[in-house]
A and B are shown apart, each in its own frame.
Chain A
Amino acid sequence: MFNLLKQVTDYAKETIQAAKYIGEGLGVTFDHMRRRPVTVQYPYEKLIPSERYRGRIHFEFDKCIACEVCVRVCPINLPVVDWEFKKEIKKKELKHYSIDFGVCIFCGNCVEYCPTNCLSMTEEYELATYDRHQLNFDNVALGRLPYKVTDDPMVTPLREFAYLPKGISEPHDLPKGSQRSGQRPEDITQ
Chain B
Amino acid sequence: MNSGIDLQGSFIESLKDLGLSQGVAKVLWMPLPMLLMILGATVGVLVCVWLERKVSAAVQQRIGPEYAGPLGVLQPVADGMKLVFKEDIIPAKADSTLFTLGPVLVVLPVFLSYLIVPFGQHLVITDLNVGIFLWISLSSIAPIGLLMSGYSSNNKYSLLGGLRAAAQSISYEIPLAFAVLAIVLMSNSLSTIDIVNQQSGYGILGWNIWRQPVGFIIFWIAALAECERLPFDLPEAEEELVAGYQTEYSGMKFGLFYVGSYVNLVLSSLVFAILYLGGWESPIPIENLASWFGISETNDTLEIIDAAVGIAMTVLKTYFLVFFAVLLRWTVPRVRIDQLLNLGWKFLLPVSLVNLLLTAALKLAFPFAFGG
Q: Which residues of B contact A22 (CB under 8 A)?
A: 331-332
1/0 per residue A24-41: CB within 8 Å of B? Answer: 011011101101111101
CB pair A37 B331 closer than 8 Å: no
Q: Tell me the B59-112 residues at the A interface (CB within 8 Å).
A: 59-63, 66
Closest-CB distance, A5 to chain B (whole angstroms): 16
CB pair A39 B59 closer than 8 Å: no
Q: Is B38 an interface residue (CB 8 A)?
A: no
CB pair B58 A39 closer than 8 Å: no
Q: Which residues of A contact B332 (CB under 8 A)?
A: 22, 25
Q: Is B360 an interface residue (CB 8 A)?
A: no
Number of interface residues of A (CB under 8 A): 15
Q: Is B210 an interface residue (CB 8 A)?
A: no
Residue of A nearest to B58 (CB): A33
CB pair A37 B62 closer than 8 Å: yes
CB pair A26 B327 closer than 8 Å: yes
CB pair B331 A32 closer than 8 Å: no
CB pair A29 B61 closer than 8 Å: no
Q: Which residues of B contact A37 (CB under 8 A)?
A: 57, 61-63
CB pair A39 B55 closer than 8 Å: no
Closest-CB distance, B43 to chain A (whole angstroms): 24
CB pair B63 A41 closer than 8 Å: yes
Instruction: With a 10 A CB-CB cut-off, give which of B57, B58, B347 has the most chain A CB atoms.
Output: B58
Closest-CB distance, B166 to chain A (whole angstroms): 27
Q: Which residues of A contact B328 (CB under 8 A)?
A: 26
Residue from the list B57, B66, B327 in contact with A29, Cβ < 8 A: B327
The SS class assigned to the A binding surface is helix
Q: Which residues of B contact A33 (CB under 8 A)?
A: 55, 58-59
Number of interface residues of B (CB under 8 A): 15
Quick one: given A22-B332, A25-B332, are A30 and B327 in contact (CB under 8 Å)? yes
Q: Is B320 an interface residue (CB 8 A)?
A: no
Q: Which residues of B contact A39 (CB under 8 A)?
A: 61-63
Q: Is B202 an interface residue (CB 8 A)?
A: no
Closest-CB distance, B119 to chain A (whole angstroms): 29
Q: Which residues of A contact B11 (CB under 8 A)?
A: none
1/0 per residue A80-111: CB within 8 Å of B? Answer: 00000000000000000000000000000000
Q: Which residues of A contact B59 (CB under 8 A)?
A: 29, 32-33
Closest-CB distance, A20 to chain B (whole angstroms): 13
Question: Within the assembled complex, what's the spacing in Å between the Cα atoms of A25 and B230?
Answer: 14
Residue of A nearest to B62 (CB): A39
Question: Within the assembled complex, what's the spacing in Å between the Cα atoms of A22 and B330?
Answer: 11
CB pair A25 B60 closer than 8 Å: no
Quick one: given A37-B63, A39-B63, A41-B63, are A28 and B331 in contact (CB under 8 Å)? yes
Question: Within the assembled complex, what's the spacing in Å between the Cα atoms of A26 and B59?
Answer: 10
1/0 per residue B18-31: CB within 8 Å of A? Answer: 00000000000000
Question: Within the assembled complex, what's the spacing in Å between the Cα atoms of A22 and B62?
Answer: 23
Closest-CB distance, A63 to chain B (whole angstroms): 45
Q: Which residues of B contact A32 (CB under 8 A)?
A: 58-61
Q: Which residues of A contact B61 (CB under 8 A)?
A: 32, 35-39
Closest-CB distance, A154 to chain B (whole angstroms): 15
Question: Within the assembled complex, what's the spacing in Å between the Cα atoms of A46 and B65?
Answer: 18
Question: Within the assembled complex, what's the spacing in Å between the Cα atoms of A150 and B347?
Answer: 60
Residue from the list B55, B66, B331 in contact with A25, Cβ < 8 A: B331
Residue of B nearest to A19 (CB): B217
Question: Within the assembled complex, what's the spacing in Å between the Cα atoms of A30 and B57?
Answer: 12
Residue of B nearest to A39 (CB): B62
CB pair B62 A26 closer than 8 Å: no
Question: Within the assembled complex, what's the spacing in Å between the Cα atoms of A22 and B230?
Answer: 14
Question: Within the assembled complex, what's the spacing in Å between the Cα atoms of A22 and B347?
Answer: 17
1/0 per residue B35-69: CB within 8 Å of A? Answer: 00000000000000000000101111111001000
Q: Which residues of A contact B62 (CB under 8 A)?
A: 37-39
A-B CB proximity, top 3 nearest: A25-B331, A33-B58, A29-B331
Interface residues of A (CB under 8 A from B): 15, 22, 25-26, 28-30, 32-33, 35-39, 41
Given A33-B55, A33-B58, A37-B63: 5 more A-B contacts, CB < 8 Å: A22-B332, A25-B331, A32-B58, A37-B61, A39-B62
Between A and B, 13 residue pairs with Cβ closer than 8 Å are A15-B347, A22-B332, A30-B327, A32-B61, A33-B55, A33-B58, A33-B59, A38-B61, A38-B62, A39-B62, A39-B63, A41-B63, A41-B66
